[in-house]
Amino acid sequence: MKNHERDQRQQLPENQALEAAIEQYFVDVTSRCPYGMDQQAIYHQGMCGRLDDRTMGSFLAQGYRRNGNAMYNMRCPGCSLCVPIRIRPEQFTANRNQRRVLKKNRDVVAGVAPLTMSRENLNLLESFLTTRFPESNNHAEGYYTGFFITSITRCFEIRYRVGEQLIGVAVVDGAPGWLNAVYFYFDPEQSWRSPGTMNILYLLNFCRNQQIDLLYLGYWIKDLGGMDYKKHFRPHELLVDGSWQLKR
């Protein structure tokens, strides 16, 4: 039996026990679909206190995501398009296009830093939101205070610069066994760099260097431009019907 299959089977009872224990603290919250689908979305979510690394890892392994101090998953009636996706960094091999992205980003320097609501970060995020989601009426400060900043797990930023210019920021949760990609925003004028791909490639390299076993990328949504590119990182695993399925 392969190591990851054995690990998954061993972790399954623990995940099921956790879900049964916490269900009473979760509620369904109805909202507009964040991915533009023509139906209401239902967030199954609960507020959490401080979570240890193992418990947070169990949440991620069940397909939960983090929003501020809440953990949630999507339970939208008649829709199952949001599919959790993760990668085992030691198995990943870059394809030709991803190698091209690395080449054209050779001038980018990445640095790990504390999660910071600095004016530089806010200006970049505001530009990103205004350009990518002009009708959303979202604001940078609200993203940091309501979405990024948390007390339930360790969160930090990876900042990408060309010279002194900040061109992108990845917000991530981290532990020795896993890395959770919470959000990534970038300078819209740097879109030619394929910054989303660049960021995932860096996160994979970071995981390798730190000997982190799993990189969680959030949701993959088939044929949705801003999400579909994640499928090109192979092999990857998709959480389907309660189990992680390997896709080569």
Confidence check: pLDDT of 18 > 60: yes
Which run of H or E residues covers position 132?
helix 119-132
What pLDDT is stored for residue 1 in this prediction? Answer: 37
Q: Nearest to residue 178, comparing CAs of 206, 199, 150?
A: 206
- Assess whether the previous peptide bond of 235 is cis (omega < 30° from 0): yes
What pLDDT is stored for residue 10 in this prediction? Answer: 57
Task: Give how far Cα 246 sits from Cα of 39, 50, 222, 240, 241, Å.
Answer: 30, 31, 16, 10, 13
Q: pLDDT per residue over 175-185, tens digit each?
A: 999 999 999 99
Q: What is the distance between the alpha carbons of residues 210 and 244, in angstroms, rounded to a whole number?
A: 23
The C-alpha R_g of the chain, in whole angstroms, comes to 18
Q: pLDDT per residue over 111-146, tens digit each?
A: 999 999 999 999 999 999 999 988 778 899 999 999
- Among 19-23, 59-63, 91-95, 229-233, which stretch is predicted with the lowest mean pLDDT? 19-23
Q: What is the distance between the alpha carbons of residues 106 and 162, in angstroms, rounded to a whole number?
A: 9
pLDDT band at residue 9 using 50, 70 and 90 as cut-offs: low
Q: In what order do the strands lie in the sheet with 27-32?
A: 27-32, 40-47, 70-74, 65-67
The C-alpha angle with vertex 182 and arms to 11 and 246, in degrees rounded to 5, equals: 45
Average of per-residue pLDDT values in the chain: 93
- Residue type present at position 232: H
The C-alpha angle with vertex 115 and arms to 111 and 118, in degrees rounded to 5, equals: 90
Confidence check: pLDDT of 152 > 70: yes
Q: How many residues does the chain have?
A: 248
Confidence check: pLDDT of 7 > 70: no
What pLDDT is stored for residue 61 in this prediction? Answer: 96
Burial pattern 59-75, b for ≥16 Cβ within 10 A else e, equals bbbbbbbbebbbbbbbe
Helices marked H in 117-169 = 119-132, 140-143
For residue 40, the cross-strand partners are 32
What pLDDT is stored for residue 75 in this prediction? Answer: 95
What pLDDT is stored for residue 160 in this prediction? Answer: 98
Confidence check: pLDDT of 5 > 90: no
What pLDDT is stored for residue 226 in this prediction? Answer: 81
The average pLDDT across 100-104 equals 98
